Amino acid sequence: QQQVKQSPQSLIVQKGGIPIINCAYENTAFDYFPWYQQFPGKGPALLIAIRPDVSEKKEGRFTISFNKSAKQFSLHIMDSQPGDSATYFCAAQTGANNLFFGTGTRLTVIP
Amino acid sequence: NAGVTQTPKFQVLKTGQSMTLQCAQDMNHEYMSWYRQDPGMGLRLIHYSVGAGITDQGEVPNGYNVSRSTTEDFPLRLLSAAPSQTSVYFCASSGNSYGYTFGSGTRLTVV
């Protein structure tokens, strides 16, 4: 059973567009929600993260929106660039071992 | 500062062979984990460690063993390789159990 459900599977936007990736979870014990960015042939890299007591967090062009009552969170990428083309994973965690990943979204930003 | 180093980068095994995937980190992190990444399934936790001498099973531990004799090293052993273990394996470490740093991965093919 997938602990974190992620959509869409793939996404194509024009340069300057705002891609949005959505994730949902069921376990209310999760207390940390990170997003990871992965380029081909590389390991995932932590991009931005949020705790459930905050509804929004911004770091540069990346924003997480968090809806605790709906158990959903999303990643927005403002003014997207071709260099943002990568696979993005949402995740949810409680404790040292309980880090569960979504299935990933392959983003392509067209120049 | 190398971060998390994984060796080898690529490996082909025959069914039934054994091997060890190496992982080393130089950040003095207590928490280390092994994940496997399969298409359409995100990353799934195999084994994890919360410090030297302490390991435990993750979501998909069958067919794998780990040990943690030092803070720096966390090798993953495949006891008798099977085609189902064809995957990309990632080692990760964290100083506080949140915000993991990943290695660049080992691509394993079992024929």
Instruction: Give the other-Cβ count within 10 Å of B70's Cβ.
Output: 10
Choose between A86 and A94: higher pLDDT.
A86
Chain A positions in Cβ-Cβ contact with residue B59 (cut-off 8 Å) = 100
| Three-state DSSP class for residue B104 | coil
| Per-residue pLDDT at A29 | 92
Whether pLDDT at B11 is above 80: yes
> Where in chain A does DSSP place strands (E)?
4-7, 10-14, 20-25, 33-38, 45-50, 56-59, 62-67, 72-77, 86-94, 98-101, 105-110
- The mean per-residue pLDDT over the stretch A55-84 comes to 97
B23, B31, B33, B48, B67 from B51: Cα distances, Å: 14, 6, 11, 9, 10
Residue environment code for A37-63, b if the CB has 16+ CB neighbours within 10 A, otherwise e: bbeeeebbebbbbbebeeeebeeeebb
**Of the candidates B94, B52, B75, which has an alpha carbon nearest to the alpha carbon of residue A93?**
B94
B42, B59, B99 ranked by CB distance to A103: nearest: B42
- For residue A46, give the chain B residue with the closest CA: B99
As a whole number, mean pLDDT of residues A81-86 equals 98
Contacts 24+ apart (CB under 8 A), B52-57: B56/A97
Which residues are bridge partners to A5 per DSSP?
A24
- pLDDT(B1) > 70: no
Q: Which chain A positions have a beta carbon within 8 Å of B101's beta carbon? A: 46
Q: How confident is the model at residue A17 (pLDDT cuts 50, 70, 90)?
A: very high
Q: Does B41 touch chain A (CB under 8 A)?
A: yes
Does residue A96 carry a pLDDT above 80? no
DSSP labels, B37-63: E-TTS-EEEEEEEEETTEEEE-SS-TT
Pairing of strands A33-38, A20-25: unpaired
A33-50 pLDDT, tens digit each: 999 999 999 999 999 999
The answer to whether B4 and B101 have CB atoms below 8 angstroms apart is yes
Kindly tell me if the per-residue pLDDT of A32 is higher than 90.
yes
| Model pLDDT for residues B62-73, shown as the tens digit of each residue | 999 999 999 999
pLDDT classification of A74: cutoffs 50, 70, 90: very high
Q: Find the mean pLDDT for residues B4-30.
A: 97
Interchain pair B45, A49: CB under 8 A: no
Query: Is the per-residue pLDDT at B74 higher than 90?
Result: yes
Residue A15: both structure tokens together:
């340069």
**What pLDDT is attached to residue B96?**
85
* Sequential DSSP letters for B59-86: SS-TTEEE--SSSSB--EEESS--GGG-
What's the pLDDT at A92? 95
Residue A62 predicted with pLDDT over 80:
yes
Residue B29 three-state SS = coil
The structure tokens listed for A18 are 């705002």
